Amino acid sequence: MKRLGLLAAACLMIAGCTSYYRVTDLATGDNYYTSEVRHKSSGAVAFKDSRNGSEVTLQSSKIAKINKEEFEHGE
Protein backbone atom coordinates (compact mmCIF):
# COMPACT_ATOMS: atom_id res chain seq x y z
CA MET A 1 0.00 0.00 0.00
CA LYS A 2 2.88 2.34 0.80
CA ARG A 3 4.42 1.70 -2.62
CA LEU A 4 1.14 2.56 -4.32
CA GLY A 5 1.05 5.87 -2.46
CA LEU A 6 4.61 6.70 -3.46
CA LEU A 7 3.89 5.79 -7.08
CA ALA A 8 0.80 8.01 -7.13
CA ALA A 9 2.76 10.92 -5.64
CA ALA A 10 5.53 10.49 -8.21
CA CYS A 11 3.02 10.49 -11.07
CA LEU A 12 1.43 13.69 -9.80
CA MET A 13 4.81 15.39 -9.53
CA ILE A 14 5.79 14.37 -13.06
CA ALA A 15 2.44 15.45 -14.52
CA GLY A 16 2.71 18.82 -12.80
CA CYS A 17 6.10 19.56 -14.39
CA THR A 18 4.89 19.90 -17.97
CA SER A 19 6.00 23.05 -19.76
CA TYR A 20 3.92 24.71 -22.45
CA TYR A 21 5.13 26.80 -25.38
CA ARG A 22 3.71 29.06 -28.07
CA VAL A 23 5.94 28.90 -31.15
CA THR A 24 5.46 31.71 -33.65
CA ASP A 25 6.56 31.25 -37.26
CA LEU A 26 8.29 34.57 -38.01
CA ALA A 27 7.77 34.13 -41.76
CA THR A 28 3.97 33.80 -41.57
CA GLY A 29 2.99 34.96 -38.09
CA ASP A 30 1.22 31.65 -37.42
CA ASN A 31 1.17 30.43 -33.81
CA TYR A 32 1.62 26.81 -32.76
CA TYR A 33 1.19 25.30 -29.31
CA THR A 34 3.29 22.44 -27.95
CA SER A 35 4.71 20.97 -24.76
CA GLU A 36 8.12 20.07 -26.22
CA VAL A 37 10.49 21.94 -28.54
CA ARG A 38 13.58 20.29 -30.03
CA HIS A 39 16.44 22.44 -31.33
CA LYS A 40 18.14 21.06 -34.44
CA SER A 41 21.81 21.52 -35.30
CA SER A 42 20.80 23.63 -38.31
CA GLY A 43 19.23 26.22 -35.99
CA ALA A 44 15.69 25.16 -36.79
CA VAL A 45 13.18 24.02 -34.18
CA ALA A 46 10.96 20.96 -34.42
CA PHE A 47 7.87 20.09 -32.40
CA LYS A 48 4.50 18.32 -32.51
CA ASP A 49 1.62 20.76 -33.00
CA SER A 50 -0.94 20.12 -30.25
CA ARG A 51 -3.85 21.27 -32.44
CA ASN A 52 -3.58 18.61 -35.14
CA GLY A 53 -0.71 16.35 -34.05
CA SER A 54 1.48 17.11 -37.05
CA GLU A 55 5.27 17.43 -36.84
CA VAL A 56 6.40 20.98 -37.61
CA THR A 57 9.91 22.27 -38.37
CA LEU A 58 10.55 26.01 -38.54
CA GLN A 59 13.74 27.76 -39.59
CA SER A 60 12.79 31.13 -38.13
CA SER A 61 10.67 31.18 -34.98
CA LYS A 62 9.99 32.85 -31.67
CA ILE A 63 9.40 30.57 -28.67
CA ALA A 64 7.51 31.76 -25.60
CA LYS A 65 6.93 29.71 -22.45
CA ILE A 66 3.26 30.04 -21.50
CA ASN A 67 0.99 28.83 -18.70
CA LYS A 68 -1.44 25.92 -18.96
CA GLU A 69 -4.50 28.16 -19.32
CA GLU A 70 -3.04 30.02 -22.32
CA PHE A 71 -1.97 26.68 -23.83
CA GLU A 72 -5.49 25.25 -23.50
CA HIS A 73 -7.05 28.45 -24.88
CA GLY A 74 -4.72 28.44 -27.88
CA GLU A 75 -5.39 24.83 -28.83
Residue 13 lies in a domain: no
Residue 33 lies in a domain: yes
Residue 4 lies in a domain: no
**Of the listed ranges 4-18, 30-44, 46-60, the one predicted with least confidence:** 4-18
CA distance 48 to 33: 8
Structurally, the chain folds into a number of domains equal to 1
20-25 and 55-58 strand pairing = unpaired
Distances in Å between the Cα of 31 and the Cα atoms of 28, 36, 46 are 9, 15, 14
15 vs 53, more confident? 53
**pTM (predicted TM-score):** 0.76
DSSP state of 39: E
Q: Check which CATH number belongs to the domain holding 69 and give it.
A: 2.30.30
Give the H/E segment covering residue 63. Answer: strand 61-66
pLDDT at 51: 93
Residue 45 lies in a domain: yes
Q: Which residues constitute the domain of residue 53?
A: 18-74
What is the mean pLDDT of the segment spanning 38-63?
A: 97
Residue 41 lies in a domain: yes
What is the mean pLDDT of the segment spanning 29-34?
A: 97
